[in-house]
Amino acid sequence: MDIFPVLISLKTSVVSIFFTFFLGIWAAKGVIGLKSERLKNLLDGILTLPLVLPPTVAGFFLLYIFGVKRPVGKLLVDLFNYKIVFTWQATVLAAVVISFPLMYRSARGAFEQVDENVLHAARTLGVPERKIFWRVLLPMARPGILSGGVLAFARGLGEFGATAMIAGNIAGKTRTLPLAIYSEVAAGDMGEAGQYVLVIVAVSLIIVAGMNAMAGKGGRQP
C-alpha cells in the first residue's frame, strides 16, 4: 500500500482544521451578533451553502475563482508567480470550504445555547465584550465547538469531489485517501482499495470515539 495518500490526507486535514476552526468560530460569533434578522438569515444561508451543494459544484466554483485565467488565480500568478490549482494547497482549500459549514453551524448552535442571562450579568459588572467572549461565552460553548471541530476534521479527511476538481488526482502530490480508493477501484485493484478503506474507517472510528468522549465530559460539567 502506498503510504503517500494517507500522509497527504492527514496533513491536509490537520492544516485545514486550523483554518476551519477559527474561521467557523469567528463567522458564528459575527452572525449571531447581527441585529438584522434578514441579514442574519442571508449570511447564514451563504455560509451553510457548501454543506448542501454537491462537492463537485463547490469544486467548480473554486476552480472558476482560482483558475489561472480567473480573477483570483490570475492575480496570484501575476503578483507571486504562484498557481494554486493542482497543488497540495488546493486540497487544503477544498477541505476548508467543504468542512467550514459544519464548524460554523456547530459553533453557532453552541453559542446560542449559552444562557443570555450569564452574558448580561457579566456586562452589568462592566466586563468588556472581548473578555466576555474569551472568558464566558467560549468556555461555556466549548463542548459544542470541540464537537464541531472533530466533525469538520472528519469531513476534511473524507473530502473527494471538490478536491478532485481543483487539486486533481496526482499521485504523491494531491491524491488523498478518497481519491486513492477511487483510483484503485477504477484500476480494478480491490485489495489495495480495501486497505485504504480500512485506514479511513479506523481513523473515522477514532474520531467518533473522541467526539463521544468530549460529549460525555461536556455532559458532566455543572
List the alpha helices (DSSP H) in 53-176: 55-66, 71-80, 88-112, 116-124, 129-132, 138-140, 142-157, 161-166
The dihedral formed by the CA atoms of 79, 85, 86 and 89, expressed in degrees to the nearest 10: 80
Provide CATH code, domain 4-220. Answer: 1.10.3720.10
The residue extents of the domains of the chain are: 4-220
Quote the pLDDT of residue 222: 44
| Number of CB atoms found within 10 A of residue 81's CB | 7
Q: How far apart are CA 24 and CA 104, in angstroms?
A: 4
Cell numbers representing residue 149 in the block: 471541530
What would the mean pLDDT of 202-220 be, rounded to a whole number?
Answer: 73
Which of 24, 21, 51, 27 is closest to 40 using CA atoms? Answer: 27
Quote the pLDDT of residue 208: 80
Q: Give Cβ neighbours of residue 189 (< 8 Å, ≥ 6 apart).
A: none
What would the mean pLDDT of 144-172 be, rounded to a whole number?
Answer: 91
Q: Taking the CA of residue 36 as centre, how many other CA atoms within 13 Å lie in the half-sphere pointing to its CB?
A: 5
Range scoring the smallest mean pLDDT among 29-33, 161-165, 204-208: 204-208
- pLDDT tens readout for residues 2-18: 899 999 999 999 999 99
Residue that wins the pLDDT comparison between 78 and 198: 198
Q: Taking the CA of residue 55 as centre, how many other CA atoms within 13 Å lie in the half-sphere pointing to its CB?
A: 21
Which of 212, 211, 87, 215 is closest to 155 using CA atoms? Answer: 211
What would the mean pLDDT of 38-52 be, rounded to a whole number?
Answer: 93
